[in-house]
């Protein structure tokens, strides 16, 4: 028997126990070969309504439970995930087309999210404040928001769901999670199972996969004051608008079109190594993936030559094979979209140096040179294994190109001059910048989030989670009631 026994959950959702949903079921197929991975239950608005009602009833007792108990549950969930590591890695590979290395990394980072969330229970939760009346206690304290709605994507389904679910639970909230149906096993059933085995009280966590109508029901439910959404910028705008109309807090972590800036004094081999990793990890299907390669004109020819050699050395194929570097895209539609952007870029004047070939869900690692700032390969989030190289003349030009985007998630700068790198980084409009690094960087303790089209300034990670998943409450207590003149 497998550690989590996911096969026993065919067609079910987790909402006050495992049960048959109202929305039917859906088959999940391996994007590499089309084989059947499993069957998931699909929730509909009625399932969301029921889940939110149960969560709202269960949350007060969970929120008042001792911090030590909540910490123990989070750590027990981490233990359950660690025990099931091999099964979860295999599920990620089969369900999302992750290479083995990417799947292993996702589980490792998910374990970090659980342990970091557990530590939130040890953070101070309030401040003593001065008061004009002697003997009166005045304090500001953090209290759980209540029920947190989490809508998570398919590309790193376990990690990006737990990044919200774990801290929200640790801080005393109930959670209703709607994972993307394309990854509802690794991004939903696994999470339900590990918390079930960790002893989380019934009704505190609900996992209801579903489509747009299910997500809309969660966003608009009056018992859910906070929505944490990770996904595309277009969908995030709709979520933000709906939440704003209802005066709800929306934590939006959205798309990116992230630049790497290779200055004229950069270590070219190091820059190519970092930039290729940033573009090709998980076939480029990561919000922090390197989309735009901005290279000083004096290095552009050599850079294209070296990064093309890197791209052509990568092996494309079944991601279950440890020797494979590039697996499939999540669907044929996504692969066709990447193909369309590449073809449009070439029509607009870019030079196809290597790749550009689609076979079903697979797309060869691709290098485009001489990409103009008006090209779709420059302006759009490609979400595929495509490198788009644009030359620049000086630091000012590089910064202008980096900021010529609606997105503002992540960036990288390569230079041998440490101070110069920091100075350029300070001018880039992004939530995260890495000098002599690459754009895909994440950790459980850092303020993860973007600006502009990449997010509304909310931050996941470390003590920043307190700002997203608690409310401030001012409390005063006097030994006797005051006397007023009327």
Active site positions, annotated = 253, 287
What is the rounded distance in angstroms from the CA atom of residue 120 to the CA atom of residue 325?
A: 36
Q: Residue 240 is inside which H or E element, if any?
A: helix 233-245
Residue 185 tokens read as: 């096993």
The answer to whether the beta carbons of residues 339 and 291 sit under 8 Å apart is: no
The answer to whether the beta carbons of residues 410 and 433 sit under 8 Å apart is: yes
Gyration radius of the chain's alpha carbons? 24
Which residue blocks in 65-211 are alpha helix, DSSP H? 67-83, 85-96, 100-119, 157-170, 190-198
List b or e across 73-84, with b for residues whose CB sees 16 or more CB atoms inside 10 angstroms: bbbbbbebbbeb
Cβ neighbour number for residue 340 with a 10 Å cutoff:
12
Q: Which residues contact 346 (CB under 8 A, 6 or more apart)?
A: 352, 356, 368
Nearest to 221 by CA among 389, 53, 429: 53
Q: Is 146 helix (H, G, I), strand (E, B) or coil?
A: coil
**Phi and psi at residue 42, to the nearest 5°:** -110, 125
What is the rounded distance in angstroms from the CA atom of residue 223 to the CA atom of residue 207?
A: 16
Q: Residue 295 is inside which H or E element, if any?
A: strand 290-296
The answer to whether the beta carbons of residues 189 and 14 sit under 8 Å apart is: yes
* Partners of 179 in beta bridges: 152
The answer to whether the beta carbons of residues 181 and 40 sit under 8 Å apart is: yes
What is the rounded distance in angstroms from the CA atom of residue 116 to the CA atom of residue 162?
A: 11
How many CA atoms within 13 Å lie on the side-chain side of 246? 20
What is the rounded distance in angstroms from the CA atom of residue 78 to the CA atom of residue 72?
A: 10
**Phi and psi at residue 364, to the nearest 5°:** -65, 145
CA distances from 375 to 16, 151, 350, 370 (A): 50, 32, 8, 10
């Amino acid at each position: 028997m497998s550690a989590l026994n996911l096969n026993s959950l065919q067609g079910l959702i987790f909402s006050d126990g495992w049960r048959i949903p109202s929305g039917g079921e859906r088959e999940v197929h391996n994007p590499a070969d089309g084989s059947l991975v499993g069957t998931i239950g699909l929730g509909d608005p009625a399932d969301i309504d029921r889940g939110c009602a149960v969560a709202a009833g269960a949350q007060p007792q969970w929120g008042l439970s001792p911090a030590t108990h909540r910490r123990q549950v989070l750590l027990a969930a981490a233990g359950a995930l660690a025990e099931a590591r091999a099964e979860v890695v295999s599920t990620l590979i089969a369900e999302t087309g992750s290479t083995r290395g990417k799947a292993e990394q996702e589980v490792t980072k998910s374990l970090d999210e659980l342990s970091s969330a557990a530590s939130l229970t040890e953070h101070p939760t309030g401040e003593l404040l001065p008061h004009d009346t002697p003997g009166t206690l005045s304090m500001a304290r953090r209290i759980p928001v209540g029920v947190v709605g989490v809508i998570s994507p398919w590309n790193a389904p376990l990690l990006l769901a737990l990044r919200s679910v774990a801290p929200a639970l640790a801080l005393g909230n109930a959670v209703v999670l709607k994972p993307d149906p394309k990854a509802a096993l690794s991004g939903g059933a696994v999470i339900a199972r590990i918390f079930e085995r960790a002893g989380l009280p019934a009704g505190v966590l609900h996992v209801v996969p579903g489509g747009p109508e299910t997500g809309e029901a969660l966003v608009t439910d009056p018992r859910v004051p906070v929505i944490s959404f990770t996904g595309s910028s277009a969908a995030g705008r709709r979520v933000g608008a709906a939440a704003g109309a209802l005066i709800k807090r929306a934590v939006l972590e959205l798309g990116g079109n992230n630049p790497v800036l290779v200055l004229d004094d950069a270590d070219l081999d190091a820059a190519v190594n970092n930039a290729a990793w940033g573009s090709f990890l998980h076939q480029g299907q990561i919000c922090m993936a390197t989309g735009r390669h901005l290279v000083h004109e004096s290095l552009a020819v050599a850079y294209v030559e070296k990064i093309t050699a890197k791209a052509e050395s990568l092996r494309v194929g079944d991601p279950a094979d440890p020797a494979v570097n590039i697996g499939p895209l999540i669907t044929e539609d996504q692969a066709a979209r990447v193909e369309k952007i590449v073809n449009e870029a070439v029509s607009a004047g870019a030079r196809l140096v290597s790749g550009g070939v689609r076979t079903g869900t697979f797309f060869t690692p691709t290098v485009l040179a001489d990409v103009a700032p008006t090209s779709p390969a420059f302006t759009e989030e490609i979400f595929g294994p495509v490198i788009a190289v644009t030359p620049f003349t000086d630091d000012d030009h590089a910064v202008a190109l980096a900021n010529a985007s609606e997105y503002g998630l992540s960036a990288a700068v390569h230079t041998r001059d440490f101070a110069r790198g920091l100075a350029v980084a300070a001018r880039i409009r992004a939530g995260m910048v890495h000098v002599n690094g690459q754009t895909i960087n994440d950790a459980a303790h850092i303020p993860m989030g973007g600006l502009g089209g990449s997010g509304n300034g909310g931050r996941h990670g470390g003590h920043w989670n307190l700002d997203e998943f608690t409310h401030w409450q001012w409390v005063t207590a006097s030994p006797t009631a005051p006397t007023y003149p009327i």
